[in-house]
Structure 1
Amino acid sequence: MLWITKLIGLLVLLSSVASATCPDWSPVHAQKEMGKLNEKLTEWDWAYYQQGTSIVSDATYDGLRSQFNEWQHCFNPAEQPQEPQLFTEGKVLHPIAHTGVKKLPDAAAVAQWINGKSDLWVQPKVDGVAVTLVYQQGRLLKLLSRGDGEKGQDWTAKAKMIDAIPKVLSGLLANSVLQGEVFLKRENHVQKTMGSISARGKAAGAMMRKGDAGLLKELGIFIWAWPDGPADMNQKLNSLEKAGFSLTKTWSKPIKSMSDITTLRESWFAGSLPFVTDGIVIRQSQEPAGKHWLPGKATWVIAWKFPPAQQLAEVKDVQFSIGRTGKIAVVLNLNPLQIDDKQVKRVNIGSVKRWQTMDIAPGDQVMVSLAGQGIPRVDEVVWRVSQRNKPQPPSKEMITPLSCLYFETRCREQFIARLAWISSPAVLNINGVSVSSWQQLQQKLSLEHIFSWLALTQEELSKISGFSSAKTVQLWQQFTKTRQQPFKKWLMAFGLPLPRAVLTTMPDSQWLHLVARDELSWQKLPGIGPGRAKKLVEFVNHPQIAALAAFLAQQGIQGFSN
């Protein structure tokens, strides 16, 4: 998990909190929700720091920790944002404190930070466990966990089983303090497609639990700081490489511009690396003396994280979308979030049954990612509020494949969906008519049924304030053109429950032929069983279908007029 140490990332957090929308909760309700979430966060902190176990994903923990602080800002603004309960029991003082790294939110912030700075270097932000290595008289004296940045746990015994950590050094490094990341070694890891794979939790677990000697041998070390080391970065990197810390030189690149930074960031995000990363680190080679290092006070180094594959979103409300055949889909309206280059406000989660199984209510927190073609999806529900104020779905008895052929207020959504289907390329191919166009037509001209637009005049269309004169002419011409469409296209416009392959080979060319068919006659068509045959008989003989067929006959549509 992204276990933020004291004060690190506070400015970024406060920025996001300031823009958050506060829930409409009473003080009592707010305290109940915050208490419940705080209890769970504390449980996860204890498991991670005491047992080395990641109960939830990094994205889930980070998102809910941020959510708690947003609620705290809303309901207890005088309090400081809460930090992770480290439970490190760290008793060993670091010779030089861990400063942590401030995370900047975007390219503009990074460009502003590098402005006026020189001798800058970029490194991958390796996703592991931060440590201090202390060498004295050429030997590894201590390996300490970061802890709270000032004190950590003594992991020296574990260091003996990590082959990647040199036990003996000479030269400038014989008496040195190094800071770095213990990480799970990988081969050809592509962050963009593979994600974090819980690498940090596995590394932390290996360091904290007893045993795990096998996993310790799979750990590597990336040194990202040598306080009080050589002032020249190249000398520092060469010395580390000769001592056995070769990754630091390989993955530290000098940069001169914002373009250099973005190029490296994109390359490392999509390329093969020997470790898991969650961003890049940009640092100045010139650093203050180690005695001045303090937790949360680094001004010479910042991080720019990779875009997350998943993000946490709060459900604002639950709506039901009704398709032309009466199928009900559940749509979640979310507090807007940015995933990659896409802003997500709504996500369709499918059927009412799936929504009920997932048990999602307004106020819940869901993990959202992008599926194929950038379509947002809900991966899981990560937090449920205690008050389950879920809306009632529409009654299935009132919404059927034969409902909303004629307009009623309750039918608005299905009626518009029917019109959109009729105008689609596969049916009547009415160019230039979008869903919003149908909505405007219905609002201004009050269409009685799904074919009422056939009888509209050009003058009537010109009364719609949202349509230009050119749009009016185009619509009227397109509506008129549909009269030339073949009979079977109009059957598709009705929504006749017949597979398209059967419809195209069916010999009937007149509506009267269909009305004359009984169930046995329908079953003579390929692939039509008793159940489908019964539905077809009911469909063509339904009073509203018969009325629509009569209307099409009046309009002179091929196959309907006698």
Structure 2
Amino acid sequence: MDRFIIFVATLCISAGSVWAQCPAWTPHRAQEEMRALAQQLARWDDAYYRQGQAAIGDARYDALQARLNDWQRCFDPARSAREPQWPTDGRRPHPVAHTGVKKLADRTAVARWMQGQRGLWVQPKVDGLAVTLVYHAGELTGLISRGDGLQGEDWTAKARQIPAIPAHIPFTAGQTVLQGELFLRTPAHRQAIRGGENARTKVAGAMRQQAASPLLAQLGLFIWAWPDGPHTLKEQLSALQAMGLDEVGRWTQPVATPDDVAAWRARWFREALPFATDGVVIHRLPRTAGRHWRPGDGGDAVAWKYPPPEALAEVRDVLFNVGRSGKVSVVLALRPLRLDDKQVRRVSLGSLARWRALDVVAGDQVTVSLAGQGIPRLDEVAWRVAQRHYPTPPDAAQYHALSCFRLTPGCRQQFLARLSWLSSKAVLNLSGIHAGSWQRLMASQPEMHLFSWLEWGPATFPTVPGLSRQRQARILDTLMRSRAQPLRRWIKALGPPLPAQALNAMDEEALRAMPAWPVSEWLRLPGIGQALAAKLVAFFHHPSVRELLAQIPALRAPVNAPDAGS
């Protein structure tokens, strides 16, 4: 469908949700940001509608258009919502207006709409360009793009080059008006795997190029509305088949319950179809007379779209984390959004270098998708705000594998990461003690080293506000039981750059001796080369590490200690 549909969709956003998302901008800055985005949208409109070129994907354009309208409601509510800027030449009125379809959010909304209705059917929501076909006395006299729903571009000349559009139909009395979707034929297209593949943009390019495009021969036509046509679905499908427009009959299924709709939606999302889709549409008959149709008033058809593969998110803040090894990473705090079935609030960028290359700051609009295992992933910066305020990142030179074994100013993040690491199941397995627990303990113990907690007992356990005595007792019990962990785990808790295969290859005697090993001894272990061996020597000879080694319970206990009675 043409980009006008976003105008209808944005009108449905409630005022409360908009005000809750207004940026904290001064009036001057708000006008600057809105003007910059409006100018860019106008440039994209010109490229799309005059030249048939899409410099930006439809979903991303729609999202940015909606964002601009949100800003206008926040800072200039008297202004009308922006509409896509169509060219003023070549406009032709639709004999019957395009109403659009209301988008339903979920199965509950579908069930509510279907309640008490009969004779419903479902079709794939074909991803293409909405058009009107006009026949007089059986002869094709018009092909009109959707445009604003009342008038669109006259594509009648192009229609002669599209084999899927019949030049004649066997209905010679009066005028016949059909509405449908021009789509790109994509054999064996699986939406769940291939997504939309910008099929709509390709169709738009072919229709708006001045020269004839070879892509026109690959276009199909899916009729989804017949204003003032036959009153039953069976009659409509039979008549369309007689016209040579039988594509729709293959993809029209009767439905009686929301479960029926959900089943077809899931099936068409995964099965091979001859076109790209972005959901399903549920229809009912009879419809109101065509003379009463108006843009945005479509109540006889509703859409249930597929979860978007990506979504537009606003960056609220740029955060910097220092990890256990001293590596500085960047995380974007986002205005919360739902992607598939996940609530996304943050997305990791990785290194400082990537953050600088992406050039992203608070206020920017970014596209986010879900990678493997449902992990949020930043795909692209879709729009950058005009006023750019860059936060100051930590000095990466201050942090490394041998920094922050003590809680000192500037070391809180790395020190906490070290404690969280040694708590994990694969290391000391301090069950029930996580980052939040350590943060509370750190707040009450301004001077700590990595193993300070080994000295705590019932009388010396820190006083932590808000921590019950029962909780304190459980934490203390877990900490004290950790003393029985084998030496191999304590060495791992220090966080040396030691491969797991090398650590597992050492026996107890080697574990006790290795802190004093030279490079030559390290080279005997699997997975360790000259460079890593040198790093391990430097690690275990570092004063902070040697101090911590002296605290490890397994190193304090004598080897093969005799029984008490011997």
Pairwise same-fold verdict (TM > 0.5): yes
- In structure 1, runs of 5+ residues without a counterpart are none
Pairs within 5 Å for 1:65-214: 65-87=65-87, 89-171=89-171, 175-214=175-214
For the structure 1 residues 501 and 558, does the alpha-carbon distance in structure 2 shift closer, same or farther, using more than 3 Å as the test?
A: farther
For the structure 1 residues 473 and 342, does the alpha-carbon distance in structure 2 shift closer, same or farther, using more than 3 Å as the test?
A: same
Cα distance between partner residues in 1 of 2:242 and 2:21: 53
For the structure 1 residues 401 and 166, does the alpha-carbon distance in structure 2 shift closer, same or farther, using more than 3 Å as the test?
A: same
Give the superposition deviation at 1:463.
5.3
* Secondary structure at 1:216 match in 2: helix
Give the counterpart letter for 2:120 in structure 1: L
Cα distance between partner residues in 2 of 1:496 and 1:344: 34
User: Is the Cα contact below 8 Å between 1:511 and 1:559 reproduced in 2?
Assistant: no
Show the counterpart of 1:54. Answer: 54
User: Is the Cα contact below 8 Å between 2:332 and 2:346 reproduced in 1?
Assistant: yes
Give the superposition deviation at 1:240.
1.0
Show the counterpart of 1:268. Answer: 268
Give the counterpart letter for 1:231 in structure 2: H
* Secondary structure at 1:8 match in 2: helix
* Secondary structure at 1:344 match in 2: strand
* Secondary structure at 1:263 match in 2: helix
Question: CA deviation digits over 1:291-317, x for unaligned, max 9?
Answer: 112222222222222210100101100
Matched, 1:307 2:311: no
User: Is the Cα contact below 8 Å between 1:190 and 1:272 reproduced in 2?
Assistant: yes
Give the counterpart letter for 1:350 in structure 2: G
Show the counterpart of 1:294. Answer: 294
For the structure 1 residues 7 and 333, does the alpha-carbon distance in structure 2 shift closer, same or farther, using more than 3 Å as the test?
A: closer
Give the superposition deviation at 1:462.
9.1
Give the counterpart letter for 2:271 in structure 1: G
Show the counterpart of 2:564. Answer: none
Question: CA deviation digits over 1:46-70, x for unaligned, max 9?
Answer: 1111111111112211111111111
Give the fraction of aligned pairs with identical amino acids, expressed as a percent.
45
Cα distance between partner residues in 2 of 1:430 and 1:101: 55
How many residues align? The count is: 561
Give the counterpart letter for 2:194 in structure 1: M
Give the superposition deviation at 1:342.
0.2
Give the superposition deviation at 1:140.
1.6
For the structure 1 residues 347 and 16, does the alpha-carbon distance in structure 2 shift closer, same or farther, using more than 3 Å as the test?
A: farther
User: Is the Cα contact below 8 Å between 2:550 and 2:556 reproduced in 1?
Assistant: no
Cα distance between partner residues in 1 of 2:243 and 2:544: 85
Show the counterpart of 1:22. Answer: 22
For the structure 1 residues 218 and 554, does the alpha-carbon distance in structure 2 shift closer, same or farther, using more than 3 Å as the test?
A: closer
Give the superposition deviation at 1:519.
4.0
Show the counterpart of 1:556. Answer: 556
Cα distance between partner residues in 1 of 2:6 and 2:421: 56
Question: CA deviation digits over 1:68-114, x for unaligned, max 9?
Answer: 11111111012222111122634322222222223233334333333
Question: CA deviation digits over 1:187-215, x for unaligned, max 9?
Answer: 12222221111100111111111334421
Cα distance between partner residues in 2 of 1:86 and 1:476: 70
Cα distance between partner residues in 1 of 2:260 and 2:527: 62
Give the superposition deviation at 1:407.
0.9
Matched, 1:449 2:438: no
User: Is the Cα contact below 8 Å between 1:487 and 1:559 reproduced in 2?
Assistant: no
Cα distance between partner residues in 2 of 1:30 and 1:238: 55
Cα distance between partner residues in 1 of 2:425 and 2:204: 56
Give the counterpart letter for 1:105 in structure 2: A
Larger mean CA deviation between 483-492 and 338-347 belongs to: 483-492
User: Is the Cα contact below 8 Å between 2:97 and 2:149 reproduced in 1?
Assistant: yes
Give TM-score, length-normalised by structure 2. Answer: 0.92
Question: CA deviation digits over 1:18-43, x for unaligned, max 9?
Answer: 26521121111111111111111011
User: Is the Cα contact below 8 Å between 1:430 and 1:479 reproduced in 2?
Assistant: yes
Show the counterpart of 1:346. Answer: 346
Cα distance between partner residues in 2 of 1:223 and 1:62: 24
For the structure 1 residues 511 and 159, does the alpha-carbon distance in structure 2 shift closer, same or farther, using more than 3 Å as the test?
A: closer
